[in-house]
A and B are shown apart, each in its own frame.
Chain A
Amino acid sequence: MDLTTNHFLFVSAALFVIGMMGVLTRRNILIIFMCVEMMVAAVGITLVAFSHETATINGQVFFLFALAVAAAESAVGLAIVVALSRQGRAPDVEEMQTLKN
């Protein structure tokens, strides 16, 4: 049995589903944020696996851009969490339903 692209695709699907279950069930906004990052990494495995299979390097370049966008997103998201905690509000998605006040 050889290592094929399908193995990587299965593993990335499993990681994506784990991240999705975290987003669906947890309440702490920081955990949800980490699970989203995990889903981005899972998609990255898929991109790199197909890039390896077709011998094109475009998939790796795509993931590079996804990495840049994820970094910007994490900066903004964590700033929102800090601003929330400065107002004395909990980082809880059940309580945080509006961005106003």
Chain B
Amino acid sequence: MSWELVFFAVFSAAMLLCGLGVVAFENPVHSAVALVGSFINVAALFVMLGAEFLGVLQIIVYTGAVLVLVLFTIMLIDPTKLPEFYVGAPLQRFASVVVGAILLAEIGVAIITRTALEQIGPHTEAMVQQMGGNVQAIGQVMLSEYALAFEIASLVLTVGVVGAVVIGLPNRMVEPNTVTMSLGHTRGSSDMLAAGPKFESPMNIPAERYTAPVGERTVVMTKDPDAYTHPGETSK
């Protein structure tokens, strides 16, 4: 019974418990905090496997950036709109446990019956030490053998960021030129038909943002008294 095995047992038990917490906690914020605990223990396992750089990166990227993003998103969402706590219909829960157990048994048999691989590569621990450490070894391989994949990864990140900005744009910037006004409603009819309309926005947005000339907008007339939008809002 070596100390290494003790540390491995502690880290992996904490990791799996926190993982179960992610699935079982009712509050999404609690799930996110449990995920932080799980990822810190994953980083500890990486360090035990001699991948110090990936361990640090796991903490910086996942617990530092992605989880903060998740927490921000949870807090941006109206909490009354969150779906109520639900872990599946009884049949669904049973099926997921069965499928999980089968998958785990399959992987377990595959692991037990496999033949251990030999140390075929050049990056033994002594060699990595001689190269100056884990970071130097990864850098040399990544920027020579995997240079093309490195460039493609940067492209993927750029596309992801641009896509996130486009998806996250408010609707009023996407469809700014439609106005719906109601004929059965006094509100808005007089001041919007006047030339160069300036009116109070109920959303306390400065009225200057709504002063586009009438001719440049599509005006939709409806009989529904509630179908009244300001220019810049999307019609419901």
Contacts and interface: CB of A to CB of B under 8 A. Distances in A.
B100 A31 contact: no
Contacts, number: 251
A56 B123 contact: yes
B69 A74 contact: yes
Contacts of A34: 22, 31-32, 35, 70
B20 A78 contact: no
B203 interface: no
Contact of A61 (B92, B124, B146): B146
Contacts of A49: 49
A78 B73 contact: yes
Residue with the highest number of chain B CB atoms closer than 10 Å, among A7, A26, A45, A58? A26
Main secondary structure of the interface of A (DSSP, over half): helix
Contacts of B61: 67, 71
Contacts of B65: 71
A14 to B, nearest CB: 6
A75 to B, nearest CB: 4
Contacts of A61: 138, 141-142, 145-146
Given A13-B104, A15-B15, A49-B49, 9 more contacts: A25-B87, A30-B28, A30-B73, A48-B51, A52-B49, A65-B150, A67-B54, A81-B73, A88-B81
7 contacts: A15-B16, A34-B35, A51-B49, A54-B119, A55-B125, A57-B128, A94-B83
